[in-house]
A = this chain, B = another copy of it.
């Protein structure tokens, strides 16, 4: 059967490798090229088969109908444009084309929110990993207008180290990360904030969002703990989430608290909600877990490509 030839820019990073691995098992896409400037000419063993890296400049763009760009933030937009000029559809995993980062109106690939716009889209801005976990958990409250006016959404989230990429930095060495834990970007400095604010403010301008990320001594996974205040208590909060996400193939609303283990290597977001006891303002705690490299990056990128091309949305994706 004919498969659509697909290129990957930036294939040697963690997200790029995950893309190559997923593409190796996809029923409709097949890997045509994989670029990695620093490792051009090298071969890597990914997803049970060998991938040969070429320089991005040498990418045979004419041959690709779809390109995923996992290039670094800032370097990606140019290559997205070039791939488009050659007629390829593009899913950009960098932040370059996300809301708050560009004035262009690029379809934002939070699939469960934007499916209609993504269908047939020529270019898609794939969401950041943290925003995927956080925004999906907030969705029922945002869409329902249930958040308390003038309240602040307090997000504490923790990510495994692959979220920081595989460029060697001293603070990411095993000897520094093991048995350690720390916050970073405290006070709302994180690159992912603009896209989170953009979606929140599409629904309400009366609510702030505060985001404190932390670095976990694990390889992959994000857990977000989101505390929100409501206008009024909800009788059955879990039912609201179950109803909103009924039929969604990649959203798991559970009574149990989600763990990283539940979602690793799977293209799902898993979430629950709990009422806070002994506080005067009606307050919910939302817990939301994803694999930062799958639903938070490569998996959702393929999910979006499936939607763009009109394939079954779950094609080639591990549940």
Q: Is the CB of B283 within 8 A of A178?
A: no
Most B CB within 10 A of own CB, among A180, A209, A287: A180
B150 and A280: CB pair below 8 A? yes
Q: Could you tell me which A residues sit within 8 Å of B by CB distance?
A: 14, 45, 48, 150, 152, 154, 156, 158, 160-162, 166, 168-170, 172-184, 186-189, 193, 197, 208-210, 212, 214, 216-221, 223, 225, 227, 229, 257-262, 264-266, 274-281, 283, 285, 287, 318-319
A221–B177 CA distance with the chains assembled, in angstroms: 13
Q: A158 — which chain B residues lie within 8 A by C-beta?
A: 158, 181, 214
Which residues of the partner chain B approach A176 to less than 8 Å between Cβ atoms? 166, 174, 261
19 A-B Cβ contacts within 8 A?
A: A48-B266, A150-B281, A152-B281, A152-B283, A154-B154, A156-B225, A158-B158, A168-B170, A172-B173, A174-B219, A175-B219, A178-B219, A181-B221, A182-B259, A187-B276, A210-B227, A210-B279, A214-B223, A216-B216
Q: A187: which of B161, B173, B274, B280 is its contact (CB, 8 Å)?
A: B274
CB-defined contacts of A266 to chain B, threshold 8 Å: 48
Q: How far is the CB of A188 from chain B (nearest CB, A)?
A: 4
For A168, the closest partner residue in chain B by CB is B168
Contact check, A181 vs B225: say whether CB atoms are below 8 A apart: no
Residues of B within 8 Å of A156, CB to CB, are 156, 212, 225, 227
CB distance from A163 to the nearest CB of B (A): 9
Residue pair A178, B259 in contact (C-beta under 8 Å):
no
Least distance between A165 CB and chain B CB atoms (Å): 9
**Residue numbers in B under 8 Å from A287 (CB-CB):** 183, 186
